[in-house]
Structure 1
Amino acid sequence: MAGIIGSLGGVDSITLLIFILIIVLLVHIVGYVADPHGIRSIPGPFLAKFSDIWLGMVSGHSHRSEVVHEMHKKYGTFVRLAPDHVSISDPEALQIVYAHGNGSLKSNFYDAFVSIQRGLFNTRNRTDHTRKRKIVSHIFSQKSVIEFEPHVRQYVGELIQQWDRLCDGAVKGLSGTEGEGGWMGRDGRLWLDCLPWYNYLAFDIIGDLAFGSPFSMVMAAKDSAPVAVSHKDAMKSYGDTECEVIRIPAVKILNDRGEYSATMGVLPPWCRPFVRQIPWFRVGNKAVKNLAGLAVAAVAKRLTTPTDRIDLLSKLQDGKDDEGQPMGRGELTAEALTQLIAGSDTTSNSSCAITYYLAHNPRVQQKLQKELDDALGAEDLTASTFEQVKRLIYLEAVINEALRIHSTSAIGLPRIVPEGGLIIQGKHFSANTVLSVPSYTIHRDKGVWGEDADDFRPERWFEPNQTAIQKTFNPFSFGPRACVGRNLASMELLIIISSIFRRYDFVLEQPDKPFDTREGFLRKPTECKVGIKRRNII
C-alpha cells in the first residue's frame, strides 16, 4: 500500500480524482453484475441499481416518502432503492419484516443517529437492545404514563392561556409578534401559524418529563433551550458545579439533525467521514452535537439538584437490568435525549397535522366538537383529563385518520434479513439484504383503505374491514423495535386535541394551499396558518 501511495505522489489532483472515480464506478458495476443479494430483477430507478447515491439525493431533498410512493405506483410492490435495499409496499410484509423472533436487525442506517452513545432507538445489537428495553419499557406502561398526566395538562393549560390572551387581543383588532411568524386580529379571529406553538408545547412537556424542568417555550413564545458548551465538563460526576451553557433554537436544531442523519444514514459507512466535510453536512453535524449538548446540560442540571418528583428521568434512574445494574451517566443521558427527540417531534407534528385536517374539513371538526361537548358538558376545564376523553370514539378516529394520512413516521424503516432469508409474496430474500415497508405507501393502499385512501375521512374507522385496517395501520412501527412511548404519545394527543378543539374553532387562512412538509427521519409540516375563535361552550 505504501508503494502505491508513493507511486501516486507525483500525480496531479485532477488525475488522482479521476482515478478514484473510476475505481468507485468499477466497484459499483462489479457489485451489480455479481448480484450478491439476488435482487437484480427487481425494478427501480436506474442509478439505485448501482449506488446508494440515488436514495441519498432523494433523502437530501426532504421528500423521500412521496418519491418512494411514486416509485411503487410506477414499478409495483417491490422497488429497488439501493444496491442492497428493497422497499415493499405490501401490508402483509409488516408482519414478516418486523416480526418478533424473525432474527432481523436494524441496518447501519441507524449508526447515523448515534451522538452521546447508543440508546434504545439506535442500538443494533439484539442483546444490548433487550437489556435497554427491559429498563425502559416499564416506564411507558399505561399505569406509569397516567402518573405523567398532570405535567401534560399543565402545559396544555399554558398554551390555552396564551391563545386566550391573543384571542382577546384579536377581537380588538390588535396584532403582535408572539410566536414565530407573529399574529394578527382580523374578522373576529386570531390568525397565526400554529406549528411553532405546538413545537413549544411538545418541547415543554417532554422537557419536563425527560429532564425535570420545562424549556418554558410556551410562556416565552420562543424557540430557545440551554446547551452545554463542553460535553466533557458536563458529563463529570454528580458534582455541584453547573456546566457552562448557551441558548439555541432547539426546534430548528432538531429539524436540522433529523434531515442530516436521515440522509447520512442511507450513504455507505465508508464515505460518511468524507461527506461530513461538505458544507450542508457540516451544519447537520453541528446540529447533532448541539442536540446532544442540550441533553447533557439538562441531565447535569437535574442531577446536581436531586428531587423526589416522578418523571421519565427519575424512572430511568431507578431502572435496573437483569443483573441489578442501573444505567451509567452517559447511558442515562443518551436515553433522555432519545425521549426528548421522540416525544417532541412526533407530538408537535401530529398535533399540527390533526389541526390542519380538522380546519380543512369543517364537517368533521363540528362532529368532533359535538362529541366533546356531549361528553364534557358545561364544565369549564382548561385542559381535559385523560379519563374524560379516553373512550371518545370519534376523537380516536380523528386522531388515527390524521396519523394515517400524515404519517409522521413515514419512511420504510430498514431491516437486515437474517440467516436463512425471508419469503414475501413467494419471493425469497437472502441474508443481509435490507428490506423496508414504507408506512406512507401502505397507509394509502386502496385495497385496504378504499378508493378514497388519499382523503381525510375518520368514518372509515367504523367500517367493516377493521381487521385489514388494524394490520396495516403503522404509526408506531411493529414488532420488538416498535415505539416504546406509544402510550404516552396517545395520551398526549387525546388531551391536546380534545382540550383545544373544545375551546376553539379553526379555519385555514388559505384553504386551497397544500399541507407542505419536509422529511428527515420524520415527516414534518412546514407551517399551518389558521384563524382561531373562542367557542361558546354551553
Structure 2
Amino acid sequence: MSPIQTHIQWLIQTPPLPLPILLPALFLAISILTVGTYTLYNLKFHPLSAIPGPFLARATPFYPIYLYYHGDFALHMRHLHSVYGEFVRLAPNHIAVSSPTSFKQLWTTKGFEKGDFYDAFALGISKHRDLFTIRQNSFHSQRKRIHGNIWSMTSVLEMEKYIDELIELFLQRMGRLADEKELMDVGLWTWRYTYDIIGELFFGKAYGFLEKEQDIDNLMAAAGAVAPFEGMMGMAPVWAKPFMMWMLAIPNIARGIMNFQKVKVTGKKLVADRMKTMENQDKSGRNDMLGKMLSIVWEKGERVDWTVLDVEQECFVAMVAGNDTVSISLTVILYHLAKNPSSLARLQHDLDEAAKNGALSPTIAYKEAISLPYLVAIINEGFRIHPLFGYPVPRVVPKGGAEVCGRWWPEGTELGTSCGVPEKNKAIFGEDAESWRPERWLVEKEKAARMWDEVCAFGIGSRACIGQHIAQAEMTKLVAQFLLEFNIETASEWDCLERWFNKPQNICIKVTRRNRAT
C-alpha cells in the first residue's frame, strides 16, 4: 500500500474530533488567520504603509492606547518625531505630523473634519451634539450661530463681577494658608477655583469648593476616574469600542460615573428652576451664561431648534472641558513663576507701578490686567511651555484626498499634530524653546500672532474652543490679583501624569503676604 493510500485509510478510520474541541480549534485558527492577514495588510499593503513608525503602531490600532496608559504621551510624541521624522504612523490610519504649519493647516483648511475620537465625549442629553463633539464643520457653524455671540469677550465681561467674587474668596483662602504657614497645593487650589467659576457662570452658583475647602459630591475624584476611560474609548478603533465597555466595571470608574450622574441631576434642577423663573416673567435676575443661553430658548428657541436640553448639555460640557484646561495652565504659570524669581519680580514690579499710577483698580478689571504686556506674555508662555495633552487629535482628510505639508494623503486618512511638538519648535520660538522665558512674547504684534498660531491651548479657526474668553479672563485676573497681594516660593518639584489631560501633580508652593507700599 502506498503512503498516500495509507494516509487516506488512516483518515477514514480516525474518528472525528468532538464538537466541543473542534469549534474552539476552528475559532482559534480563523482568529489567527484574520489577525495575521490584518497585520500583514497594515504593514505591507495599506496606502500608508510607507510612513515610518513603531512596529506596534504600524501593525495595530492600539499604540495610542499604550502611550496613553504609559502616561507621558506628549514627551513620547516628541521622541517619535526625533526618531522617525516629520510624519509618524501612530496607528494604521492615523499619522502624526510635526511640520511648523501642520497645526494651522489641519484646523483651518476647508473640508477637514473631526474624527470618531470625539464620539466618546458626546453626552447625548440633547438630540443635537454639543459644539465640542459635532464632527461636521457645516453643522457646527449652524449650531454655533445660535449662541456663539454670548461667548464673546464683551459678553464675558458683563459677568466679570461673578469672577471677582470668587477671586476674593480665593485670596481669603490664600491668606489663611499664609498666616498658618501651610503650603499651597497648586493643582488642588486652582482646580477648586476653576470649578467654582464654572458653577457660578453656568449653573447660577459656585459649587462650594473654595468655601468648604473640600471635594463637593466627590466631583474631583469622579473627573479623575472618568477622564482616562473617555480618552481610551476615543482612541480605540470603532470596532473595538464595544469590547472596552468592561472598564465600566472598574470600581473607580463606576463610582465616578455615578457621581457625575448625581451632579447632572442637581444641574438639571438648577437649569429648570432658572427657566421657571424666566417663564414667570422675571428676567431681571443674574446675567450669567445660564441666563444668556436660556434667553435664547425663551426668545427664539423654537425657530432655531434650541431647547432647554441644549442648554443643559452645553453647561455640562463647560463643566467637564472648561475646568482641567484652565486649572492646568494656572498651575503651570504659578509653578514657573515660583521657580523663576526674576520673572515673578518683574511681574510684581509692573503690577505695583500700575497700581501706584492708578492704572489698576483695587479689584483688578480684565481690561486693566491685559494692558500690562509682561502679564500677557506670562499667560501666553504658560500656555506654550506645557502642552495640555499630547495625543494628536485627528482631523479626517476629505473626499478626494488632500495635500498637507507637501504630501498627498488619501481620503479618510486621520492626521493630527501633538501639541508639544509645535509649541517647542526652535525655528518658531528660538533655541531656548524648552525653557521658560515670557520675554519671547514681547515682540511686534504680527510676530506674536504667528507664534500664537502654533500654541494649541484653544485651537484656531472656526473650531477653536468657544470658551476661550472665559478662560483668559479668569486666568489673567487671578494671576494679577493674587501676585499683587502675595509672594510665592517653590517648595517642591512636579511630576506629570497624562491621562488625556497632561496634569502636573504634587506641586506645593509657599505663600506669604506682600508688604508693598501703598
| 1:80-115 deviation per Cα after TM superposition (whole angstroms, max 9, x unaligned) | 100000000112112321115x11111110111123
Once the 2 structures are TM-superposed, how far is the Cα of residue 468 of structure 1 from its aligned partner?
4.1
Instruction: Give the one of 183, 198, 208 matched to 1:216.
Output: 208
Instruction: Give the one of 263, 270, 277 matched to 2:239.
Output: 270
How many residues matched?
A: 485
**Counterpart contact for 1:89–1:441, Cα < 8 Å:** yes
Tell me whether 53-62 or 375-384 shows the greater mean CA deviation.
375-384
Q: Is the aligned partner of 1:488 residue 2:470?
A: yes
d(CA) in 2 for partners of 1:8 and 1:145? Answer: 72
Once the 2 structures are TM-superposed, how far is the Cα of residue 65 of structure 1 from its aligned partner?
1.5
d(CA) in 1 for partners of 2:374 and 2:512? Answer: 22
Once the 2 structures are TM-superposed, how far is the Cα of residue 293 of structure 1 from its aligned partner?
4.1
- Per the alignment, do residues 491 and 262 of structure 1 end up closer, same or farther by CA in structure 2, a change over 3 Å counting? same
Once the 2 structures are TM-superposed, how far is the Cα of residue 78 of structure 1 from its aligned partner?
0.6
d(CA) in 2 for partners of 1:149 and 1:304? Answer: 23
Q: Is the aligned partner of 1:32 residue 2:42?
A: yes
Instruction: Give the one of 480, 498, 520 matched to 2:480.
Output: 498
Q: Is the aligned partner of 1:310 residue 2:287?
A: yes
**Secondary structure of 2:424's match?**
coil
- Per the alignment, do residues 34 and 408 of structure 1 end up closer, same or farther by CA in structure 2, a change over 3 Å counting? same
Q: Is the aligned partner of 1:116 residue 2:124?
A: yes
Aligned-partner residue type, residue 507 of structure 2: C
**Secondary structure of 1:98's match?**
helix
Once the 2 structures are TM-superposed, how far is the Cα of residue 135 of structure 1 from its aligned partner?
2.2
**Counterpart contact for 1:105–1:124, Cα < 8 Å:** yes
- Per the alignment, do residues 200 and 470 of structure 1 end up closer, same or farther by CA in structure 2, a change over 3 Å counting? closer
Once the 2 structures are TM-superposed, how far is the Cα of residue 251 of structure 1 from its aligned partner?
1.7
Instruction: Give the one of 180, 184, 193 matched to 1:192.
Output: 184
Once the 2 structures are TM-superposed, how far is the Cα of residue 312 of structure 1 from its aligned partner?
1.2
Once the 2 structures are TM-superposed, how far is the Cα of residue 355 of structure 1 from its aligned partner?
0.4
1:133-152 to 2 correspondences below 5 Å = 133-152=144-163
Aligned-partner residue type, residue 103 of structure 1: G
Aligned-partner residue type, residue 291 of structure 1: F
Identify the residue that residue 477 of structure 1 maps to in structure 2.
459
d(CA) in 1 for partners of 2:27 and 2:211? Answer: 54
Identify the residue that residue 372 of structure 1 maps to in structure 2.
351
Instruction: Give the one of 377, 380, 400 matched to 1:397.
Output: 377
Aligned-partner residue type, residue 78 of structure 1: F
Q: Is the aligned partner of 1:535 residue 2:504?
A: no
Tell me whether 264-273 or 296-305 shows the greater mean CA deviation.
296-305
Once the 2 structures are TM-superposed, how far is the Cα of residue 58 of structure 1 from its aligned partner?
0.9
d(CA) in 1 for partners of 2:267 and 2:335? Answer: 33
d(CA) in 1 for partners of 2:371 and 2:311? Answer: 35
Aligned-partner residue type, residue 36 of structure 2: L
- Per the alignment, do residues 70 and 169 of structure 1 end up closer, same or farther by CA in structure 2, a change over 3 Å counting? same
Instruction: Give the one of 165, 184, 194 matched to 2:176.
Output: 165
Gaps of 5+ in 1: 1-6, 171-183, 185-190, 225-247
Instruction: Give the one of 301, 304, 308 matched to 1:325.
Output: 304
**Counterpart contact for 1:316–1:327, Cα < 8 Å:** no
Identify the residue that residue 227 of structure 2 maps to in structure 1.
258
d(CA) in 2 for partners of 1:401 and 1:505? Answer: 20
- Per the alignment, do residues 217 and 35 of structure 1 end up closer, same or farther by CA in structure 2, a change over 3 Å counting? same
**Counterpart contact for 1:398–1:458, Cα < 8 Å:** yes
TM-score by length of 1: 0.84
d(CA) in 2 for partners of 1:279 and 1:439? Answer: 29
Identify the residue that residue 13 of structure 2 maps to in structure 1.
none
Q: Is the aligned partner of 1:338 residue 2:307?
A: no
Aligned-partner residue type, residue 423 of structure 2: H
d(CA) in 2 for partners of 1:443 and 1:386? Answer: 26
d(CA) in 2 for partners of 1:12 and 1:253? Answer: 46
d(CA) in 2 for partners of 1:91 and 1:125? Answer: 26
**Counterpart contact for 1:383–1:495, Cα < 8 Å:** no
**Counterpart contact for 2:495–2:504, Cα < 8 Å:** yes
**Counterpart contact for 1:415–1:435, Cα < 8 Å:** yes
TM-score by length of 2: 0.87
Aligned-partner residue type, residue 38 of structure 2: H
Identify the residue that residue 14 of structure 2 maps to in structure 1.
none
- Per the alignment, do residues 219 and 40 of structure 1 end up closer, same or farther by CA in structure 2, a change over 3 Å counting? same
Identify the residue that residue 70 of structure 2 maps to in structure 1.
61
**Secondary structure of 1:297's match?**
helix
d(CA) in 1 for partners of 2:396 and 2:373? Answer: 38
Identify the residue that residue 237 of structure 1 maps to in structure 2.
none
d(CA) in 1 for partners of 2:361 and 2:495? Answer: 33
| 1:508-527 deviation per Cα after TM superposition (whole angstroms, max 9, x unaligned) | 113xx3x3222233221212
d(CA) in 1 for partners of 2:26 and 2:228? Answer: 32
- Per the alignment, do residues 341 and 445 of structure 1 end up closer, same or farther by CA in structure 2, a change over 3 Å counting? same
d(CA) in 1 for partners of 2:22 and 2:309? Answer: 46
Aligned-partner residue type, residue 497 of structure 2: R
| 1:313-360 deviation per Cα after TM superposition (whole angstroms, max 9, x unaligned) | 122222367972352343222111111122211221111111000001
1:428-439 to 2 correspondences below 5 Å = 428-439=408-419
**Secondary structure of 1:222's match?**
coil
**Counterpart contact for 2:388–2:457, Cα < 8 Å:** yes
Instruction: Give the one of 283, 300, 310 matched to 2:269.
Output: 300
Q: Is the aligned partner of 1:52 residue 2:61?
A: yes
Once the 2 structures are TM-superposed, how far is the Cα of residue 492 of structure 1 from its aligned partner?
1.0
- Per the alignment, do residues 292 and 337 of structure 1 end up closer, same or farther by CA in structure 2, a change over 3 Å counting? farther
d(CA) in 1 for partners of 2:19 and 2:202? Answer: 54
Identify the residue that residue 362 of structure 1 maps to in structure 2.
341
d(CA) in 2 for partners of 1:287 and 1:525? Answer: 21
CA-atom RMSD in angstroms: 2.6
**Counterpart contact for 2:166–2:196, Cα < 8 Å:** yes
d(CA) in 2 for partners of 1:373 and 1:136? Answer: 39
Once the 2 structures are TM-superposed, how far is the Cα of residue 220 of structure 1 from its aligned partner?
0.4
- Per the alignment, do residues 168 and 85 of structure 1 end up closer, same or farther by CA in structure 2, a change over 3 Å counting? same
Identity %: 27
- Per the alignment, do residues 282 and 433 of structure 1 end up closer, same or farther by CA in structure 2, a change over 3 Å counting? farther
d(CA) in 2 for partners of 1:16 and 1:150? Answer: 69
Identify the residue that residue 73 of structure 1 maps to in structure 2.
82
- Per the alignment, do residues 285 and 21 of structure 1 end up closer, same or farther by CA in structure 2, a change over 3 Å counting? farther
d(CA) in 2 for partners of 1:427 and 1:144? Answer: 42
Aligned-partner residue type, residue 338 of structure 1: V
Aligned-partner residue type, residue 346 of structure 2: K
d(CA) in 2 for partners of 1:301 and 1:469? Answer: 41
**Secondary structure of 1:277's match?**
helix
Q: Would you tell me which structure has more helix in proportion to its own residues? A: 2
**Counterpart contact for 1:375–1:388, Cα < 8 Å:** no
**Secondary structure of 2:462's match?**
coil
Once the 2 structures are TM-superposed, how far is the Cα of residue 482 of structure 1 from its aligned partner?
0.8
- Per the alignment, do residues 207 and 326 of structure 1 end up closer, same or farther by CA in structure 2, a change over 3 Å counting? farther
**Counterpart contact for 1:389–1:494, Cα < 8 Å:** yes
Identify the residue that residue 525 of structure 1 maps to in structure 2.
504
Q: Is the aligned partner of 1:85 residue 2:131?
A: no
Tell me whether 404-413 or 481-490 shows the greater mean CA deviation.
404-413
| 1:6-25 deviation per Cα after TM superposition (whole angstroms, max 9, x unaligned) | x9973489747744641551
**Counterpart contact for 1:276–1:282, Cα < 8 Å:** no
Once the 2 structures are TM-superposed, how far is the Cα of residue 295 of structure 1 from its aligned partner?
3.1
d(CA) in 2 for partners of 1:456 and 1:8? Answer: 69
